[in-house]
Amino acid sequence: MEWRGGMIPHFGITNTKKELTESRDYYRPPLRTIENDWNQFRGPERNGHIPTTSFSIEWTNPPKTRWSTSCGSGHSSIVTYGKIVITIEQVGEQESLIARSLGDGTEQWKVTELTKWYDMLSGTGPRSTPTIHDGKIYSLFSNGRLACVEASNGSINWNIKTIPDNYDFPEWGLSISPLIWNDMIILNLGGETSAAKAYSINTGEEIWSSEIAGKGVYLSPEILNILDEKHLIIALEGKIASLNPYNGKTLWTKPWKIFMNNVQIVQPIQVSQDSFVLAAGYGKGAECFIVNKDSENDGYRIETLWKSKDLKAKFSNPVLKDGYLYGLSENLLVCLEAKTGKLMWRGKKYSYGRILLDKKEMLILGHSGVLSVVEASPDGFREISSRQLLSDTRCWNGPAFINGYLLARNGEQIACFDFGN
């Protein structure tokens, strides 16, 4: 058996179904009506914003634990479909796509892939977050297999190989989360001949392959609506690029070098009709780019509006609210004016947390499992509450929030917390 970067190769996907069993006695009133799904990486709009619900939440009140159970290792975030909770975990030598009940946390079904990623910095387990569309789950495993699974019962529709045998894996594994757009699954895994590809959501057949090539990094594909056009933003070592999402043709490229291995993890954030912000850690900081049409060359001109060392976002994606950016600079919470890059305030350190944005508040799930609620206002830093929710084990997993329920996990525990009481 050949190992590569701590990964063992694909030997087939299997499906198992487990009967419901009551685990422990927690606070479990009848479930509220589920108004929205948290169907992909960073939520329904892929931006960390919590969908509007029909009831308000008092964030000063501590949540009640609906359920908590053990889970496997890895950094995959949580997604939801109706009353099931889904994530990818490392269980022994297999990566497991597991669905649990929102009501009590019991396992509903499991799809396994015989593969295992390990590196010394980030540890063992999957990094990618599944994407759900029209009742189907699209899951990328650490060996590059992409599977389409029925969310209702875990049955497998298809699985395909997305990388060649000689693929040069990123140092910390495949962290890309699939993007569903226009009946296509888009991945930007990098490669010697093509950096991004699109596949049919129905069959898994390849639809297009990009002209641009290069080694992949960690930014997931993102479509921005710039100048009333669709721009598919991807990152490769040493540069970012915009592709036409309909056919994968390159629209423009821009150098983007980072001190530490040219790694780009944080997603781009559109801040106006023609501009977006990209940030990185390792001393890089944030930069706001403006995209203009170049009539002479029948292309685009990319210029810098501002740069700032005040937002060195390494792992944590900033959020945008009413023209202001809120993010963790390394691990210090900061607020910047999006149109100028002006620093509005510095708050406190929250380690390498994951940020969700409600109407007026931010939820920050920190590296050690502490959940903090902070007011999202440019007028100043104000922490509303802070409490330990998960075990004190490294938490790089993005939580999900639906209808007052916070779903959170780390490498050993997954739990549901009810803020709607």
Strands 131-133 and 383-388: unpaired
pLDDT higher at 13 or 210: 210
Residue with tokens 């995209």: 291
> By C-alpha distance, which of 177, 275, 269, 278 is closest to 218?
177
Integer Cα distance of 274 and 255 in angstroms: 19
Name the more confident of 265 and 67: 67
Within 8 A by CB and 6+ apart from 192, the residues are 168, 213
Give ∠ CA 195-201-202 in degrees, rounded to 5.
135
Residue range 109-142, pLDDT digits in tens: 999 999 999 998 889 999 999 999 999 999 999 9
Q: How far apart are CA 367 and CA 406, in angstroms?
A: 16
pTM metric for this prediction: 0.94
Write down the pLDDT at residue 55. Answer: 75
- Whose CA is closest to 327, among 283, 253, 266? 266
Q: Which residue has the higher pLDDT, 265 or 152?
A: 152
pLDDT value at 9 more than 60: no
Structural domains of the chain, with CATH? 13-17+34-418 (2.130.10.10)
pLDDT score at 17: 45
pLDDT tens profile 56-91: 888 999 999 999 999 999 999 999 999 999 999 999
Query: Given its phi and psi angles, is residue 284 left (phi above 0), alpha (psi -120 to 50 degrees) or beta?
Result: alpha
pLDDT at 300 over 90: yes
